[in-house]
Structure formats: C-alpha cells, structure tokens
C-alpha cells in the first residue's frame, strides 16, 4: 500500500507535467504567476503565507534564468511535490500509513476541476493539518516538553495563516482521534483545540484581509436570503447533481461508513461524520448559494473527501486488510485508476480552453493590428472563459509561452471605460487588478508594444 501511494503521486506528477500550461495558466494561478514573473519574487495574497512553499521551486528556476516554459512546468509540478512530500513524511518519518492514505483520498476522492485549480490555500492547509496530527500522534507521553509546545504552537500559527476554515477541520480531526484512540485522551491533547481557536480568533482580529471581509459579507447575505429555507438554495441541487456525475465516491464512502458505524454501534463517530458533513455543506452553500463557478466550488467541496476518507482508512481499512489481504491493494489500485482517468479526461477540456484563448487572442490582435484587444464579455463563450477577470493574465501568459514573438493580451469588458480610461489611450497593460505601463513590464518574460486597446466585435 505504501508503494502504491508513491506510485499514485508519481502518476499525478506526470499528469501535472503533461497539463502544466492548463494548470499554471488558469484564473488565480495565472494571476499569481504573472506577478511572480513580473516582480521575479514570491507572491502572497490575502496574508496567506503558507502558499509560499510550492512557489519556491519555480522561484529558484526563475532566479537561475530558466525559460518561461521551465518556470511554469516547475510551478505545476511543485504542488504535486508538496503533497507527495507530506505523504513521504507521514509514512516514512512518522510511520503513519493511515494518515498517508487519508491524504491521498483527500487529494483525489472528489477531484475533477480542482486538479487544474491548484493554488487554493485551503486545499494546502488541510493537507498540512494531517502532518500536524501525525506529529501529535507520534508521542503520547503524559507530559510534553516546553520545546514541543513551542513547536506545536508555531505550527498552529502557521496553519491559521493558510486559511481560516482550516480550524473547522482541525476540530473534526481532533474530535475523531479523541473518540478513536483512548490513549490520547490526556490534558495536553485536550488543550490543543481551544488553543487553536484562540490563535485563529487572534489572527483574524489582527490580520483580516479585504477579501476575507468580502467573503464574510457574502455569507451574511446568504443567511439573510435563505435562512431557514436551506433547501431553496440552487447550490443544493447542483451539489446533488454533482454527486451523481463527479462526486459519486463521496456518497459511496459515506454510505459505507453509515452502515459500518451503525453495525458497530459507534454512534458518536457516526454523528461526528454526518454532522461535520452536513454542517460544512451548510457553510459552503450559504457562502455561495449559486456556486457559479465549478472550479471554485469544487475546491471548497474537497474537504468532504477527508471527512469520509480519514474514518474509512482508520476504521474500515484495517478490517478489510485482515479479511481480504490480497484484494485491498487491487481495490485501491482500481480506485486510483478511476480517479486518474477521470482527471485526465477533464484535462482535455482545459486544453481546449487554453487553445481557444491563445488562438482568439492572436487572431484578434492580428485583425486589429494591435497587441491589446478587447471584446464584450457576452461575446465570449462562458464555458471556455470561466472567469472574465482572469483572461487578461491568461492571454498574456499563453501567448508569451507559445508565441513569444507575438505576445498579446485580451481584455473582456462591458462597461469598464469609466474605470479604465487607458483603454482609449493605450500605453498600459490592463487587467481588473492591475494597470502597468508597457515599459514597466518585465522584459525577460513580457513584450507588449505601445498600442491602443482595440475593440473587436
């Protein structure tokens, strides 16, 4: 099973190399990569410092003078190396294969679009959370040393700076192991949860970004619009449909756990898993009642794979291994093959999307005789654009990668002339979050001539 886990990460790494433009030039990743390349430095947004770790590999290649191809390839692969590195620490250094497989199920059980939406801090933070509990479970002495406490507190502060929702899954894992392992029920373990809550609350009081304030406003609006009429939210029916089309393994694993714990009469664990799953779905749906973007919503749904995967691995898997030792590895191999095939198939859609952006941008730029073109949002196919705001970054990056001598940028807008008067005068690369003079663009990677943005209809 351990070797199968390493094989799985190897295959995911190959997929990350095959689809590196599709992963590195997509919405938030395109925004992040543009700024990394523009400033030739690490890029932190919303105060989420944990996201720096996967950026280190492309940053090193950048400092070594590597080509854009290599830097974007390194960016794509670095996230797989990040997760694989956590797996290696869990199973080799900490000798906890069950947490290692919990990480694999979390990574791929619900994955479809999220494999191409790579840089979510929540996604990374929950994975690091498994490492935290791997360390906690490693030593169960009656008392912990001061050095150990300092290390764990520092670790919890780092977790708080990944994403505030990490605390919810900290609570779930903490409660699960409290129920699962009586030997861990000591004072030092008991104090971890309230300490983590204090750290997260203190961090939010001292360091709250405008983005997170906006997300809280959306949550409050969702509660005003749909509480207590939870079932009226479109997100509920969209999620149920996705459970039939993409997330089918979530209801399968959840059903197995319901039957398992009911037969074992372990109702506290069953209540924890059902309550956590329903409570998290309530939070996600009230925060985004319409779940307009599949790739954004899927990243928030991914932790459901942990809520069912971790209990399955720790409670059901040992019994399966003892009863069917020759079939467990085969079963997990088929499961991984199914998920990998699912992700690979979806990669073709992202390839088509990126090719459309490249072709459309270069064709429009040629017809308008300008490197900077714009078009109305309703003229672009939504299923290919995905997020209007990201097209300016994506189009510049993909043309810089594939046609470096003919770089161009596409700007989708409807009524932005008042906000961007430079659309008329030119001389600047424009995007919803940036206005950069052409002369200030990093010449190592970007080359746009001084042209006026031309409207193409």
pLDDT in tens, the chain (457 residues): 889 999 999 999 999 999 999 999 998 999 999 999 999 999 887 667 778 899 999 999 999 999 999 999 999 999 999 999 999 999 999 999 999 999 999 999 998 888 998 888 888 999 999 999 999 998 776 678 889 899 999 999 999 888 888 999 999 999 999 999 988 988 899 999 999 999 988 877 777 666 666 667 777 777 777 787 777 888 888 889 888 988 999 999 999 999 999 999 999 999 999 999 999 998 888 888 877 666 677 888 999 999 999 999 999 999 988 888 788 889 999 999 999 999 999 999 999 999 999 999 999 888 888 888 888 888 888 888 888 889 999 999 999 999 998 899 998 876 655 566 666 666 788 888 888 888 899 999 998 877 777 878 7
Taking alpha carbons only, the member of 282, 254, 283 closest to residue 270 is 254
- Residue 44's Cβ-side half-sphere holds a number of Cα atoms within 13 Å equal to 10
For residues 162, 168, 172, 174, the Cα torsion angle rounded to the nearest 10 degrees is 60
Record the pTM: 0.91
Q: What is the pLDDT at residue 277?
A: 95
Residues 6+ apart with CB under 8 A from 167: 160, 196, 197, 200
Q: What would the two tokens of residue 255 be?
A: 């059903």
Dihedral of the alpha carbons of 380, 384, 385, 386, in degrees to the nearest 10: 130
Cβ–Cβ < 8 Å for 394, 25: yes
Per-residue model confidence (pLDDT) at position 171: 96
Q: Is 159 within 8 Å of 132 (Cβ atoms)?
A: yes
Residue 292 structure tokens: 């307009």
Place of tokens 């459970």: 243
Kindly tell me the sign of the dihedral angle through the C-alpha atoms of 387, 391, 395, 396: negative
CA distances to 182, 323, 348 from 265, in Å = 17, 20, 46
Burial of 65 (0-12, 13-18, 19+ CB in 10 A): exposed
Q: Which of 285, 282, 309 is nearest to 297 (CA)?
A: 285
Asked if 454 contacts 374 with a C-beta cutoff of 8 angstroms, the reply is: yes
Number of H helices, E strands in the chain: 22, 5
Residue 44: predicted pLDDT:
82
Place of tokens 């003079």: 437
Helix axes 234-245, 294-301, angle to 10 degrees: 80
The two three-digit tokens of residue 421, written as one number: 């008067």
Q: Are strands 428-431 and 409-412 parallel, antiparallel or unpaired?
A: unpaired
- DSSP assignment, residue 313? I
**How many residues does the structure list for the chain?**
457
């Amino acid at each position: 099973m351990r070797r199968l886990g390493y094989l799985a990460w190897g295959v995911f790494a190959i997929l990350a190399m095959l689809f590196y433009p599709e992963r590195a030039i997509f919405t938030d990743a395109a925004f992040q990569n543009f700024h990394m390349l523009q400033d030739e430095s690490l890029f932190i947004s919303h105060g989420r410092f944990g996201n720096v770790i996967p950026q280190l590999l492309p940053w090193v290649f950048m400092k070594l003078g590597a080509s854009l191809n290599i830097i974007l390839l390194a960016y794509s692969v670095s996230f797989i190396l990040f997760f694989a590195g956590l797996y290696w620490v869990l199973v080799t250094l900490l000798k906890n294969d069950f947490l290692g497989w919990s990480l694999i199920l979390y990574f791929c059980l619900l994955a479809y679009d999220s494999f191409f939406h790579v840089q979510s801090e929540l996604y990374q933070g929950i994975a690091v959370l498994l490492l935290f509990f791997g360390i906690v479970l490693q030593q169960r002495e009656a008392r912990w040393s001061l050095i150990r406490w300092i290390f764990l507190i520092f670790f919890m502060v780092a977790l708080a700076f990944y994403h505030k929702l990490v605390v919810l899954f900290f609570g779930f894992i903490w409660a699960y192991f409290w129920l699962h392992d009586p030997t861990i029920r000591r004072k030092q373990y008991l104090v971890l949860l309230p300490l983590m809550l204090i750290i997260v609350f203190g961090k939010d009081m001292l360091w709250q970004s405008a983005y997170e304030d906006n997300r809280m406003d959306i949550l409050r609006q969702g509660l005003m619009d749909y509480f207590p009429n939870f079932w009226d939210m479109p997100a509920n029916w969209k999620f149920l449909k996705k459970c039939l089309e993409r997330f089918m393994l979530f209801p399968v694993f959840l059903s197995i756990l319901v039957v398992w714990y009911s037969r074992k009469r372990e109702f506290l664990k069953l209540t924890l898993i059902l309550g956590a799953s329903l409570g998290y779905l309530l939070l996600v749906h009230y925060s985004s009642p319409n779940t307009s973007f599949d790739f954004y919503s899927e990243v928030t749904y991914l932790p459901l794979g942990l809520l069912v995967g971790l209990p399955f691995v720790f409670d059901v898997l040992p019994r399966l291994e003892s009863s069917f030792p020759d079939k467990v590895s085969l079963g997990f191999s088929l499961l991984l093959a199914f998920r990998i095939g699912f992700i690979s198939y979806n990669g073709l859609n992202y390839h088509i999307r990126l090719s459309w952006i490249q072709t459309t941008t270069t064709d429009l730029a040629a017809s308008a005789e300008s490197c900077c073109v714009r078009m109305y949002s309703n003229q672009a196919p939504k299923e290919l654009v995905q997020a209007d705001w990201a097209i300016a970054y994506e189009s510049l990056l993909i043309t810089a990668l594939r046609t470096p001598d003919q770089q161009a940028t596409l700007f989708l807008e409807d009524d932005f002339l008042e906000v961007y008067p430079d659309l008329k005068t030119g001389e600047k690369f424009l995007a919803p979050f940036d206005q950069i003079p052409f002369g200030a663009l990093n010449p190592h990677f970007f080359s746009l001539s001084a042209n006026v943005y031309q409207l193409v209809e």
